């Protein structure tokens, strides 16, 4: 297991102590360090959470293309959300253009392997993660990454989500300029592009009762990915919740959608009525 360094910092705001941790993982898989910002509820501070850590629900929250680990915290009040919901939120660095994938060039970043072999195991050990209370979601590129990670290993999570997700990687306008740097030369029938497209991997979830959530603004270019995801899930009889509502590919929508996702994850965790 790779060396994990934890740097804990506290900032004082009008509403009280802000409990955050900056964790740095040295990774051979990434060929560099990964910075992870972790938000904990104020009543379970990072320096004294031994008594409540086992009962704490946890969300892995992935940023979009061109973002970094600070992105979500800079755009949304994650501390307030933690305090209100009781969730711990883990924001790793997916880097500018990783697509949360393993680069076809093994000498380059292997992000999916990093998550599988380093990030998730180390977070599970540090925070005593309970899969029944652990979730993953993300926006755009991060929505693709979150559902791909979930499909790879659903036993690690209670449910997963996507906000404005590029759930069919063939849809992105960045495919020639950016995605080819990760997955190699692009053709419509390239198998690797299908292998990283959620809509082409849903057969792996047939027979699994865990729920995937996909939400998108209906004025978002990537609404068509969410619609295609819904259609495929219906065909394969895979449990899912899809919500299209007013919104564009914007932080105004993602800030709204994050609260909706955590609300649904809370219902799933508690075994509440989901309408079926």
Quick: pLDDT tens for 151-176.
Answer: 999 999 999 999 999 999 999 999 99
* Count of residues in the chain: 276
Give buried/exposed letters for 180-200 (b at 16+ CB in 10 A, else e).
ebbbeeeeeeeebbeebbbbb
d(CA 134, CA 125): 13
Q: How far is CA 118 from the centre of its chain?
A: 16
CATH code of the domain covering residue 255? 3.40.50.1820
pLDDT for position 251? 98
Domain count, the chain: 1
**Token couple for 33:** 């360090």
Does 12 fall in a domain?
no
Kindly report, residue by residue over 107-130, the tens digit of the pLDDT. Answer: 999 999 999 999 999 999 999 999
Does 30 fall in a domain?
no
Does 151 fall in a domain?
yes
Residue 223 CB neighbour total at 10 angstroms: 17
At 44, the pLDDT band (50, 70, 90 cuts) reads low
Q: Please state the φ and ψ torsions of residue 258, each to the nearest 5 degrees.
A: -60, -45
At 12, the pLDDT band (50, 70, 90 cuts) reads very low
pLDDT for position 9? 45
Kindly report, residue by residue over 170-210, the tens digit of the pLDDT. Answer: 999 999 999 999 999 998 888 999 999 999 999 999 999 99
- Collapse the DSSP code of 46 into the 3-class scheme (helix H, G, I; strand E, B; otherwise coil) and give the result: coil
Does 67 fall in a domain?
yes
At 76, the pLDDT band (50, 70, 90 cuts) reads very high
Domain hosting residue 221, numbered range: 48-270
Does 7 fall in a domain?
no
pLDDT for position 13? 35
Q: Where does residue 276 rank: exposed (0-12), middle (13-18), buried (19+ CB within 10 A)?
A: exposed
Per the confidence metrics, is the pTM higher than 0.85? Answer: yes
Does 201 fall in a domain?
yes
At 55, the pLDDT band (50, 70, 90 cuts) reads confident
Residue in this structure with the two tokens 């704490």, named with its chain if needed: 56
């Amino acid at each position: 297991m790779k060396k994990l360094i934890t740097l804990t910092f506290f900032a004082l705001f009008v509403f009280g102590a802000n409990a955050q941790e900056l964790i740095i993982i040295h990774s051979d898989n990434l060929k560099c360090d990964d910075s992870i910002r972790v938000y904990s509820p104020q009543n379970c501070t990072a320096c004294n959470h031994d008594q409540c850590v086992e009962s704490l629900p946890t969300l892995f929250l992935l940023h979009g293309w061109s973002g970094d680990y600070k992105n979500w915290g800079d755009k949304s009040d994650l501390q307030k959300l933690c305090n209100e919901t009781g969730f711990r939120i883990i924001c790793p660095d997916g880097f500018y253009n990783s697509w949360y994938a393993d680069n076809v060039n093994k000498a380059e970043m292997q992000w999916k392997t990093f998550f599988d072999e380093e990030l998730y195991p180390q977070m599970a050990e540090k925070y005593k993660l309970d899969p029944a209370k652990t979730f993953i979601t993300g926006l755009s590129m991060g929505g693709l990454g979150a559902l791909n990670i979930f499909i790879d290993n659903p036993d690690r999570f209670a449910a997963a989500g996507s906000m404005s997700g590029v759930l069919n990687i063939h849809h992105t306008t960045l495919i020639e300029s950016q995605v080819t740097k990760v997955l190699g030369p692009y053709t419509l029938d390239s198998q690797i592009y299908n292998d990283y497209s959620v809509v082409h991997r849903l057969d792996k979830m047939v027979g699994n009762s865990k729920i995937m959530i996909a939400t998108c603004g209906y004025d978002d270019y990537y609404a068509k990915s969410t619609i295609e995801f819904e259609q495929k899930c219906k065909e394969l009889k895979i449990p899912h919740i899809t919500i299209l509502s007013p919104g564009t590919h914007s932080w105004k929508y993602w800030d709204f959608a994050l609260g909706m996702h955590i609300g649904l994850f809370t219902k799933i965790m508690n075994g509440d009525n989901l309408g079926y």
